[in-house]
Structure 1
């Protein structure tokens, strides 16, 4: 099960579809195209900002699990917290535009709609990671490694935030090559910078 499926099961994709007035299938397709870039942004943030512990602290500063609750709630989703998350993981608005343009080319969904999806998805991912990270290093069912280890290339059931990002960050449980399954899938030119590839074949990630 990939992260888009997990967010759909939690009700996040349906909430986003209602928010934007699009069919759930379109929201799901957009999420699947955008989530690798969002996860890549969190990967880059963790690599340059204190690792898993630093990322966990950042998630708390941005709103923690409340970010996901805001999307799932009955009230309209406040977009500003999502834009703050994007600002942290992408560093510049033109990166968000490049991510949306790239996903538009993959899906046929308009870049404008995808740009509207980005902050909502960023809130869902950040909130979900914060909630799972708060579980600590649980094993077995409920551990984050069990939930999305396949999507991220981590094979363990360590749970917690470390279990989620271990494969992406090249930490414990990652498959060979240091990037894990997701990193290998995203790193199209083999330079070790998957997000650089996602946001545009020619552009460089700022900051």
Structure 2
């Protein structure tokens, strides 16, 4: 089962669709186009600050409450999602480029995908925190989050056996493979390969 299916089962895709005024099918298509870049951003963050650092970042931004914020009946506080995107992508330019690339890949409107991006980042971060046993404001054993991130990324990119809990295994080479210090080209390349 891939992450889009998991988020759909949790009700995230439907909540996002309702809030954005689109069909669940369109929301699913957008999620499929955006998720590889979001997961790549989380992986890059984990490489830079370690799984503990990523866990601390997610906890500081709301932990599992991020998932609940998107699933709740109130409008999603996308400021938290934009904060996550700022941390994992580094700049709004990267977010815009990711949305533009996903629009080209999926045929969906880039404006819609830009609105979807922070919600999806919150769903993914909240889901990882929940799976890692992390509550809003509370830390969890880093192995829980590390194993979760490793499993999600391993299942998405490898399809083979997932890395051991607490580590990302050989997935580190996926981001910034050309070593130019700018992972955007690599994230977008990875997004294209994963969709193909």
Q: What is the match of residue 205 of structure 1?
A: none
Q: Does residue 179 in structure 1 map to residue 171 in structure 2? A: yes
Aligned length: 177
**Is residue 76–residue 119 contact of structure 2 (8 Å, CA) maintained in 1?**
yes
Any stretches of 5+ residues in structure 1 without a counterpart?
172-177, 202-207
Cα-to-partner distance string for 1:56-114 (whole Å, 9 max, x where unaligned) = 11110111000000001111111111111111111110110000000001000011000
Any stretches of 5+ residues in structure 2 without a counterpart?
135-140, 191-196
Which has the larger share of helix? 2
Q: Does residue 151 in structure 1 map to residue 156 in structure 2? A: yes
Distance across 1 between alignment mates of 2:102 and 2:133? 31
Distance across 1 between alignment mates of 2:120 and 2:18? 14
Q: Which residues in structure 2 correspond to 1:128-207 (within 5 Å)?
A: 128-134=127-133, 144=148, 148=152, 149-153=154-158, 155-156=161-162, 162=166, 166=167, 169=168, 171=169, 178-179=170-171, 183=174, 191=178, 195-199=184-188
RMSD (Å) for aligned C-alpha atoms? 2.8
Distance across 2 between alignment mates of 1:145 and 1:78? 24
Distance across 2 between alignment mates of 1:23 and 1:112? 16
Distance across 1 between alignment mates of 2:148 and 2:163? 7
TM-score (norm 1): 0.75
Q: What is the match of residue 25 of structure 2?
A: 25
**Aligned CA distance change for structure 1 residues 43 and 144 (closer, same or farther; 3 Å):** closer
